């Protein structure tokens, strides 16, 4: 039988009912103290038929915050809030991973403890503006981490990974994409360091490797994934040779026995893709999860042609809580409401309609 999006798959040490993955989607609807609330529980539970849910990016510490009303996994209250989410998803038969996040220079002092500067591998101010509680404000020049300070951030990941286990997650995804801190170390436009964390590919990947090793103190490798975005220019980031850089990253990650490699293919801002992503898949050698711009037809073709093992869908899951069923029935899809993507209440979050079901006649 041919493999397609509806074929069950083993992901690390988990059995998934299908290969239709819910991508991580920042929605800015966490409660006070960046604690997941009842509305978040409803949102994720509605989408539990996904082969697996990857949560919205979740900061590993108060220093990792980069946006208002985004959840964390570093306080007792946050862990308790997430446990309600995971319990509800599991009650529906779903699987759910937590995405571990540290924004780095893509933040603002007003969002951080004691108005401290955001941190980064190098003191390079990003172009653009930060989203703050006071509105849009220009990014600031970040504090370049001293060599001795990096271990403290790695430790924050270790604690967060343990907290994710306490919160009932099935696993975790290390967010190494989209211009945030790990990505800032990987790419040469943002990493100008001259110590053992900068310069060569072996040095630029060191922070990611240390983060993963910290996470593996809480989780077996088959419950850990990594997300990359080699060509994405979002958050004013780039690399002079992304094919070479990320081929190397994929090769190094292949040695760890991780659950999957989740790749944002191409540039989210332009829609262009110039790299050969099959080179990454070949070098990683494990479960390859494709992402960015996929619809049902493209996703089906990718899995059927053995170009991906699963496909992560973002905006389609945002607007269609029953996306798996709609795909199966070739049903019309709800259109996402862009105005309600970030922040707000139930509108554009939990009020998207499900397919109408015919009531059984008694």
State pLDDT tens for residues 177-226.
999 999 999 999 999 999 999 999 999 999 999 999 999 999 999 999 99
Q: Which of 12, 20, 16 is nearest to 300 (CA)?
A: 20
Lowest mean pLDDT among 1-15, 114-128, 248-262, 290-304: 1-15
User: Does residue 358 carry a pLDDT above 90?
Assistant: no
The string of pLDDT tens digits covering residues 55-99 is 999 999 999 999 999 999 999 999 999 999 999 999 999 999 999
C-alpha 317/C-alpha 25 separation (Å) is 9
What's the mean pLDDT in 36-43?
98
Question: What contacts 361, CB < 8 A, 6 or more positions away?
Answer: none
Q: Residue 314 — very low, low, confident or very high, per pLDDT cuts 50/70/90?
A: very high
User: What confidence score (pLDDT) does residue 357 get?
Assistant: 67
Domains of the chain, by residue range, sit at 9-340
C-alpha 115/C-alpha 92 separation (Å) is 42
Q: Residue 362 — very low, low, confident or very high, per pLDDT cuts 50/70/90?
A: very low
User: What confidence score (pLDDT) does residue 359 get?
Assistant: 43
User: What confidence score (pLDDT) does residue 2 get?
Assistant: 81
C-alpha 288/C-alpha 278 separation (Å) is 9
Looking at domain 9-340, its CATH superfamily turns out to be: Aldolase class I (3.20.20.70)
C-alpha 254/C-alpha 257 separation (Å) is 6
User: What confidence score (pLDDT) does residue 356 get?
Assistant: 84
User: Does residue 289 carry a pLDDT above 80?
Assistant: yes
Out of 43, 67, 180, 277, pick the active-site residue: 180
Active site residue 67: no
With pLDDT > 90 as the criterion, what percentage of the chain qualifies? 96
C-alpha 77/C-alpha 8 separation (Å) is 35
What's the mean pLDDT in 150-162?
98
C-alpha 358/C-alpha 356 separation (Å) is 7
The string of pLDDT tens digits covering residues 297-311 is 999 999 999 999 999
User: Does residue 360 carry a pLDDT above 60?
Assistant: no
- Residue 11 sits at φ, ψ, to 5 deg, of -115, 105
What's the mean pLDDT in 287-316?
98
Could you tell me the pTM of the whole model? 0.97
Question: What contacts 362, CB < 8 A, 6 or more positions away?
Answer: none
Q: Which of 126, 127, 157 is nearest to 142 (CA)?
A: 126
């Amino acid at each position: 039988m041919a493999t397609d999006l509806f074929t069950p798959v083993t992901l690390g040490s988990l059995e998934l009912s299908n290969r239709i993955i819910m991508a991580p989607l920042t929605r800015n609807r966490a409660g006070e103290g960046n604690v997941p609330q009842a509305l978040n529980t409803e949102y994720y539970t509605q989408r539990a038929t996904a082969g697996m849910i990857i949560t919205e990016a979740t900061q590993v510490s108060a220093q990792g915050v980069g946006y208002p009303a985004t959840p964390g996994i570093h306080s007792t209250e946050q862990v308790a809030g997430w446990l309600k989410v995971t319990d509800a998803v599991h009650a529906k038969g779903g699987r759910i991973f937590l995405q571990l996040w540290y924004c780095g220079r893509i933040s603002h002092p007003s969002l951080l403890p004691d108005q401290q500067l955001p941190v980064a591998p190098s003191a390079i101010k990003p172009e653009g503006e930060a989203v703050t509680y006071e509105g849009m404000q220009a990014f600031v020049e970040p504090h370049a981490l001293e060599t001795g300070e990096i271990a403290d951030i790695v430790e924050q990941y270790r604690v967060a990974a343990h907290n994710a286990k306490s919160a009932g997650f099935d696993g975790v995804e290390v967010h190494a994409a989209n211009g945030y801190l790990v990505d800032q170390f990987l790419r040469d436009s943002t990493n100008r360091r001259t110590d053992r964390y900068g310069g060569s590919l072996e040095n630029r990947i060191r922070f990611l490797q240390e983060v993963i090793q910290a996470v593996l103190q809480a989780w077996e490798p088959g419950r850990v994934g990594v997300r990359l975005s080699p060509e994405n220019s979002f958050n004013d980031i780039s690399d002079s040779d992304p094919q070479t850089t990320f081929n190397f990253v994929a090769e190094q990650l292949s040695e760890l026995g991780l659950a999957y490699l989740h790749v944002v293919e191409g540039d989210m801002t332009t829609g262009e893709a110039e790299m050969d992503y099959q080179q990454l898949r070949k070098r990683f050698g494990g479960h390859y999860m494709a992402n960015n711009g996929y619809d049902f037809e493209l996703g089906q073709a990718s899995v059927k042609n053995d170009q991906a093992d699963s496909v992560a869908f973002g905006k389609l899951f945002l607007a269609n809580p029953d996306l798996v069923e709609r795909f199966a029935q070739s049903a019309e899809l709800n259109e996402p409401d862009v105005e309600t993507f970030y922040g707000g209440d139930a509108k554009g979050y939990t009020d998207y309609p499900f397919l109408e079901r015919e009531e059984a006649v008694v």
